[in-house]
Amino acid sequence: MKIIVSKDAESLGKAAAALAAQKISAAVGEHGSARILLSTGASQFETLNALLASDVDWSKVTMFHLDEYIGLPESHKASFRKYLKERFVSKVPLARAVFVDGEGDVRANIERLNAEIESAPIDVGVVGIGVNGHIAFNDPPADFETRQSYKIVDLDEKCKEQQVGEGWFAAIGNVPRQAVTMTPYRIMRCKSIVSAVPHLVKAEAIRATLEGEVTNLVPATLLKTHADWTLFIDNESASLCRAEMLAME
């Protein structure tokens, strides 16, 4: 585990994107291709923007994403498929983009996703942390035992509040009750994980992640057990952390 503290979200995004790009390019150089995960949400804006400007041969990269609401049309502004298509996929010549589809026959969609993701390793996962400590939509208490790759989960109230707070929905009652998410097990199978977590609203989640033991009540604590995890935080998201916590490696 490595922790890097930046002064603000913009500098954090540039630093996180630089490391992700370096690792993606290394995979392309070694294997001729790379497979990556990308997170969504307001906390990822700066990182994605910086990643777009990086010197990566995107024509050799396949992108997966982490989660999607069940029953939410892609036309809705909160759709993560819409988010990634507009903010990333439409801007780079990816070899392929594999999306989580929460519409139609969701269980059949999950079976196809599981087969796709399990066909080869993921080289780099850009994985955010939610205000409740979730990774993807694995809200507490997260399922650390499953060996599925994607599954259906119920969203908790803090997760729904975050979506409203970021402006994706007008009220909690508008947030879908369930989502399809990549599981903790599959996230942890990434060769490298880069987490970009700026903003004051994430300060408590970062404190809980770094200070506590590994527990499914703070799902992000699992990331501390990964052999190659780098956490990027800014002065705001680091504000509740003691100095010795930030020095942990």
Cis ω on the peptide bond leading into residue 141 (within 30° of 0)? yes
* pLDDT of the residue at 244: 78
* pLDDT of the residue at 246: 84
What are 102-133's pLDDT values in tens digits? 999 999 999 999 999 999 999 999 999 999 99
* pLDDT of the residue at 248: 64
Quick one: pLDDT band at residue 6, thresholds 50, 70, 90? very high
* pLDDT of the residue at 245: 78
Task: Kindly tell me if the per-residue pLDDT of 249 is higher than 80.
Answer: no
Task: Kindly tell me if the per-residue pLDDT of 178 is higher than 70.
Answer: yes
Paired residues of 98 in beta bridges: 64
- Degrees to nearest 5, angle at CA 35 with 199 and 9: 15
What are 134-165's pLDDT values in tens digits? 999 999 999 999 999 999 999 999 999 999 99
Cα distance between residue 37 and residue 193, in whole Å: 9
Q: Which residues contact 113 (CB under 8 A, 6 or more apart)?
A: 98, 100, 149, 150, 180
Mean pLDDT, the chain, integer = 96
Task: Kindly tell me if the per-residue pLDDT of 26 is higher than 90.
Answer: yes
* DSSP β-ladder status, 61-65 and 178-182: unpaired
* pLDDT of the residue at 242: 86
* pLDDT of the residue at 243: 85
Where along the chain do its domains lie?
Answer: 2-130+139-238
Cα distance between residue 107 and residue 179, in whole Å: 12
Percentage of the chain lying above the pLDDT 90 cut? 94
Nearest of 128, 239, 104, 237 to residue 187 by alpha carbon: 128
Q: Which of 33-37, 90-94, 163-167, 234-238 has the lowest mean pLDDT?
A: 163-167
Q: Mean pLDDT over residues 9-32, rounded?
A: 98
Token pair listed for 18: 């630089």
> 2-130+139-238 in CATH: which number?
3.40.50.1360
* pLDDT of the residue at 228: 98
Cα distance between residue 48 and residue 45, in whole Å: 5
What are 210-243's pLDDT values in tens digits? 998 999 999 999 999 999 999 999 999 999 998 8
The pTM is what?
A: 0.95
